[in-house]
Amino acid sequence: MRLPFARVVRLLSVLFPALWLMLTAARADLVWTRGVGWHVEGGALSGLGGTEGRTALDQMNRARDNEEKGNTRSAVRTYEAVAKRYPNSIYAPEALYRAARLQLSRKYYTKAFEAFQQVLSRYPNTKRFNEITGEQYRIASAMLDGARGRMLWGLLPGFTQRDKAIEYFENILVNAPYSDYAPLSLMNIARGHQKLDNTEEAIDALDRMINNYPQSLLAPDAYLKLAQTHASLVDGPYYDQASTTEAITYFTDFMLLFPSDSNIAGAEKGLDGMKTMLAESKMKIADFYFEKRNNYKAARVFYNEAITAYPESAIANRAKARLVQVEAKAASQPAPPTPGTPAPAKKKKRFLFF
């Protein structure tokens, strides 16, 4: 039997609030209060029960007691034991989070990041999601800027790990692709690759930035850095000009899309340099065909390309002057024979005998 539509609507209006209240009542929070310790507030789903629940709670309180007393290593070990032994309990995400915070306080950056990552991977609905993402971003940024963690029980400084920082920024992108940290992470990935002289990887990160987050406030910087990075690959007018062309494209896009940006003057200067380089490259090729090969057809093509590359420039004027010389030289050459016209007969050599 089908229920009338109005009755279905009324039934849902009653069931949905009731269902919401049930879910709210089922949700529990783990709270720590000084003098009382850890305790579960609200909800029927309060984690473990019976002996296991009391044991987990005792371990959590012991870990927090060590934490308060400054026994950091002992606290970390106990928190990690709780998370490992009771992974499906209400205590596990809090234990991992506390362990991560303590590792960070000891400047064990890698261990801290990875502990935070375990929270997000195992418990993606954690209420601390944004807070943890921010902590991960700060860890990765510090490592990218050369922060050195500790090693050998904290006795010695570790090594710089910029490559690990880049990996961590990529993790943040996967964890929170729609957060404010995502475009920031891509910009830092590009910066990190530039520090490591991985230019192609830096270009890839910037390209992902402008394609995935075109409305971001960082988009103008990404366009300008793309142009500048391509420009850094230019070796001179005698080499392939693919990078020059890319730089021109991004300088032009930046100026069209962000005409009021404070860096517009720098972009204009960069564009002028790249257009000059491209036009000069065309001139070099044209000169080669004209002067070394007497190939006037090819010379015409490349002198015209030099003019097209930067029409209102001194190089364009030089190319126009060269075209006049090409035409004059071409006109002075004997005309090629008309097809079908027999070639003039060769004179026979005459030998004289004495």
Nearest-angstrom CA–CA distance, 289 and 152: 66
pLDDT (0 to 100) of residue 35: 66
pLDDT (0 to 100) of residue 9: 42
pLDDT (0 to 100) of residue 14: 42
The answer to whether 163 touches 197, Cβ cutoff 8 Å, is no
Give mean pLDDT in consecutive 10-residue pieces for the chain, a chain of 354 residues.
Answer: 50 40 50 75 59 87 93 95 93 96 94 96 94 97 86 57 95 96 97 96 97 97 97 93 96 97 97 97 96 94 96 96 94 74 58 44
pLDDT (0 to 100) of residue 38: 80
pLDDT (0 to 100) of residue 11: 46
Q: Give the type of residue at 155.
A: L
Q: Which of 224, 320, 322, 321 is nearest to 274 (CA)?
A: 224
SS3 track for 8-53: HHHHHHHHHHHHHHHHHHHCCEEEEECCCEEEEECCCCCCCCHHHH
pLDDT (0 to 100) of residue 49: 67
CATH architecture of the domain 107-214 equals: Alpha Horseshoe (1.25)
Give, in order, the Cα–Cα distances in Å from 127 to each of 27, 112, 135, 228.
12, 18, 14, 41
φ/ψ of 52, rounded to 5, equals -60, -40
Long-range contacts of 67-72 (CB under 8 A, 24+ apart): 67/98, 67/102, 72/102, 72/105, 72/106
Characterise 215 by phi-psi region: left (phi > 0), alpha (psi -120 to 50), beta (else).
alpha
Three-state secondary-structure class, residue 61? helix
Nearest-angstrom CA–CA distance, 116 and 133: 8
φ/ψ of 37, rounded to 5, equals 100, -165
pLDDT (0 to 100) of residue 126: 93
Q: What would the two tokens of residue 188 be? A: 């830092």
Query: Residue length, the chain?
Result: 354
Q: How many other C-beta atoms lie within 10 A of the C-beta of residue 290? A: 22
Alpha helices in 38-108 (DSSP H): 50-69, 72-85, 91-105
Three-state secondary-structure class, residue 157? strand
Domain positions in the chain are 28-106, 107-214
